Amino acid sequence: MLSEFKDFIAKGNVMDMAVGIIIGAAFTAIVGSLVADMINPLIGLFMGGVDFGGLSASVGEATFTYGNFIMAIINFLVIAFVVFMLVRSLNKMKKEEEAAPEEPAGPTQEELLAQILVELKK
C-alpha cells in the first residue's frame, strides 16, 4: 500500500494540483487585500463612507455580520473575473495556434524517387 501511495504522489497530475492549490491560496490573499484595501474604500467613497466590514444586524443576542458576506461576494466576483480572463486568453491562444497554417510538407520519398527516375530517363 505504501508503494502504491508513493506512485500516486509521484504522478505529475498530483504535483501540478498541489502547485495550483498553493498558488491559488496566495492569489486569494492578493485578491482579499485588493478588495479590502482598494475596492471597498472606493465603493465606500461613492456610497457615503459605508464600510462593508462593519455592517451587521442583531437579533436578540445573535449578530449577523452581513458586511463580511458582501465582501466575500466581491472577492468571489473578482476572482471569477480574473479566472475568466485567464481562461479566455488561453482559449484565444489555442485558437490562434490551431489556425496558424502549417508549413507545407515537402515531397515524399516516393515522389523524389519518381522525379529522379524521370530525370534519369531523359
Taking the model in full, what pTM does it have? Answer: 0.54
The per-residue pLDDT for 45 is: 80
- Residues in the chain, total: 122
Give phi and psi for 101, each to the nearest 5: -65, 140
pLDDT, tens digit (0-9, with 9 covering 90-100), for 17-41? 888 888 888 888 888 788 778 877 7
- pLDDT: which is higher, 58 or 11: 58
- Per-residue pLDDT, 51: 67
Q: What pLDDT does 74 receive?
A: 81
Q: Span 82-101, mean pLDDT?
A: 83
Task: Work out the pLDDT band at 88, boundaries 50, 70, 90.
Answer: very high
- Residue partners of 115: CB distance under 8 A and separation at least 6: 107
Residue 100 has pLDDT above 70, yes or no: no
How many whole angstroms separate alpha carbon 32 and alpha carbon 26? 10
Question: Going from the N-terminus, what domains does the chain have, and what CATH number goes with each?
Answer: 2-100 (1.10.1200.120)
pLDDT confidence bin for 12, thresholds 50/70/90? low
The three cell numbers locating residue 46: 461613492
pLDDT digits (tens, 9 = 90+) for 43-67: 778 777 666 777 788 888 988 888 8
Element (H, E) at 11: none
